[in-house]
Structure formats: C-alpha cells, structure tokens
Structure 1
Amino acid sequence: MKNHKPLNTETARALKPGTKLVFINAGRNTVSALNGALCKVGPKGTFTQFGRTWLDIIWTSPEARGQNDGGYHPYDFAVAHRSLAPQAREVLKMLKEAGRITGVQAWNILKVRSLPRRISDLKEAGYNIKKAMKEDHTGQRYAEYTLA
C-alpha cells in the first residue's frame, strides 16, 4: 500500500505486543485478507520456526475476511501510523536528536507539562521507548526516557 514501508525481520523484532499494523501483502501471498486490513502484534511478538522469523498477528478489522490469527511473514505488514499530537511529535524529535529526554527538559525546552502522557502516546504509536530512573546531585529521583 502507498505510504507504508514493509517491515523487515529486524524492525519486526523491535515491535511490542499490541503494536497496530496494516496488512500490505508485499509478498503477494494468497491470503483472504484485503490490503489495508488492520491487525496488531500478538503476545508472542516474533518467533523463529523452521529457520524463519514469523510475526504473531491478531486480526482486528473486517477486511481480514476471516483470516486466522498466527504467524505471518513480517514483510507483509507495516506499522499503522496514526497522527501524533503536536507535543508528542516534539518529544519524538527531541528523543531522536538528543537521544534522551527528562521531565525538566520537556518542560523547560518544549513546554510539555505531562511527559509521561506524551511518552504513552508514542508507545501507542509503536515506538519502543525505555524508561530509566536516575538520581540528581541532590538525591532527587527523575525518569529519563530513551528510544530503544
């Protein structure tokens, strides 16, 4: 489908269960699901069987046409992009440029009051973000987020 980049094995392994995907049938497999059918990554994520990596899929839209849940080739799917809120886009931009972000940085630089909410938005959009608890020179604890 237009504007969707097919997954490869490496990007498929980075997806978390629950990440929303769209079926693009890049491999031209004969399945009953229509291009554009929505699904999500199942609880197994990716798994290896018969020397190949498979993506655990749970179909979520009628366009799947009764297709069974289970293992599929990663290249037949793409991440279903949903538009991000402007503040979430700014947080993502800072994560990509600086490599990390804290609540103080988000507030002082981006004027984002609720960084955990913006991080949650990014996670729902399929970004793999890690949280590490740090301690400053006064002993105050704070969360630092990085792209995984």
Structure 2
Amino acid sequence: MKFAISIFLLLTLFAPSVSGKLRIQGCDNLETLDAQHFVLFNKKELIELGECLALEVLKGNNAYDWGNTCREYIEDEQAILGTLVLSKLEAIQIGQCVGAINYIYVRYHKEEGQFASCFKGKKAVQLLADLRGDSLNKRELKTLLCRR
C-alpha cells in the first residue's frame, strides 16, 4: 500500500514536468489569501501553495534552504501512513521541493548551450536533501541539478 501511495505521489507531482509545462498555471489567486483560508486548504492545495512559494523564491533569485524541504519529502515517503499524517507545514515544504525541481527542469533541461540535461524525480530530491544548511539561489540550484 505504501508503495502504491508513493508511486501515485510521484506521478501526480512529477508527471507534469514531462509535459514541458509548470504545474502551477498561476499563483495570482494565492496573493489575496489570509490566515482563515489556510484552515480550509487540503493537502493538495497546500502542496500547490508550496510550489508557488518556490517559484517566487526562484524568480526573485533569493537563496533558500532547499535541502530542508526535500528532506521532508523523503521523510513523508518513508512514513508508514504517508500523506495521512502530513501536517500543513510539511505539505507546503513538499510543494516547495517539487516546485523548485520542476522549475529548474522545465526551464533548463535540454537548453541550448551550457546545460544539456537536468535531474528530476527521486534523484533530484536526493541531491537537494543531501544539502545540509546550504542556501542556494537559482543559479546555484541549476548548477547542482543540471549537467553539461
């Protein structure tokens, strides 16, 4: 059962990156949210919120501790009950990890010139989870996830 949930999560979270489009079409609707809205969010909406937050961090070229968010993804994958025991903060962190990986992959994979291929899926999650306290900006994240 745990394996089936993990496969489902991977397919729903990483499959859109294969299509060449970012999963979040727009995060404009999230700008007007207040604290009351977060009470009603389900896990999927919180993961999407995390993806939006990752996009904003990367577009602003701000440094962020991506390792912390991706360690949460791995921890959730190894949990016996999986997403059933996922807190709201953990769901947002998983979304941040997935959003950052998808952004880098869609933007730079098979880019002409400097970078030829970028990691995605479990390999990318593991690369980021191995970071210990290092904050990376977009350029550094691209260097870590993409190879010539």
Fold in common (TM above 0.5): no
Higher relative contact order (CA 8 A, sep 6+): 2
Q: TM-score, normalised by structure 2?
A: 0.24
Rg bigger for which structure?
1
Q: TM-score, normalised by structure 1?
A: 0.24
Greater helix share, structure number: 2
